[in-house]
Amino acid sequence: MKKLIVILAVIAMVGAFTATAMADVDLYGSARFRTYYADVDSGVAGVDSDKDLEWRMGLLTRFGANFRSDKITGQVELDARPGGAGATGNIESDSGASRLGNMRLRHLWGQYDFGAGKLLIGQTWPLYELQVSGLNYYSGGLQKFGGWGYAVNRTSQLRLTFGDFKLAFLSPDTSQTSPSATFEEINTTFPKIELGYAMKMDTFTLNLVGGYQSYEIEDKDGTKRTEDISSWVLGARGTANFGPAYLGLSLSYRQNGGNYGVWTVSTKETAVFQGIDLKDATAFGLEAALGWKINDMLTLEGSYAMLNSEQDTTANNEDDVMVWGLLAKITLAPGVYIIPEFVFQDNKDVVTDGVTTDQGDATIFGVFWMINFK
DSSP 345-358: EE--EEEETTEEEE
Contact by Cβ (8 Å): 347, 365? no
Measure CA 33 to chain center: 20
The Cα 9–Cα 112 span in angstroms is 20
CATH number given to 2-373: 2.40.160.10
pLDDT score at 369: 97
Least Cα distance to 250 among 209, 192, 201 occurs for 209
pLDDT score at 100: 60
The Cα 332–Cα 341 span in angstroms is 17
Could you tell me which residues come within 8 angstroms of residue 70 by beta carbon, excluding any fewer than 6 positions away? Answer: none
CB atoms within 10 A of CB 347: 20
The Cα 256–Cα 217 span in angstroms is 15
pLDDT score at 21: 45
pLDDT score at 98: 54
Measure CA 273 to chain center: 27
- Per DSSP, 262 falls in state B
**Angle at the Cα of 364 from the Cα atoms of 363 and 366, rounded to 5 degrees:** 155
Contact by Cβ (8 Å): 141, 303? yes
Contact by Cβ (8 Å): 193, 172? no
pTM score: 0.85
Least Cα distance to 235 among 264, 273, 214 occurs for 264
**Tens of pLDDT, residue by residue, the chain (374 residues):** 455 445 445 555 555 444 444 679 999 999 999 999 999 988 777 777 788 899 888 878 899 999 999 899 999 999 887 654 444 444 444 555 555 667 889 999 999 999 999 999 999 999 999 999 999 999 889 999 988 988 878 899 999 999 999 999 999 988 876 556 567 778 889 999 999 999 999 899 999 999 999 998 887 666 667 888 999 999 999 999 998 999 999 999 999 999 999 999 998 999 988 877 888 999 999 999 999 999 999 999 999 999 999 999 888 899 999 999 999 999 999 999 999 999 999 998 888 888 888 888 999 999 999 999 98
Contact by Cβ (8 Å): 157, 168? yes
Least Cα distance to 63 among 98, 106, 95 occurs for 106
Beta strands in 188-315 (DSSP E): 192-200, 204-219, 226-242, 245-255, 272-274, 277-279, 281-293, 298-311
CB atoms within 10 A of CB 195: 15
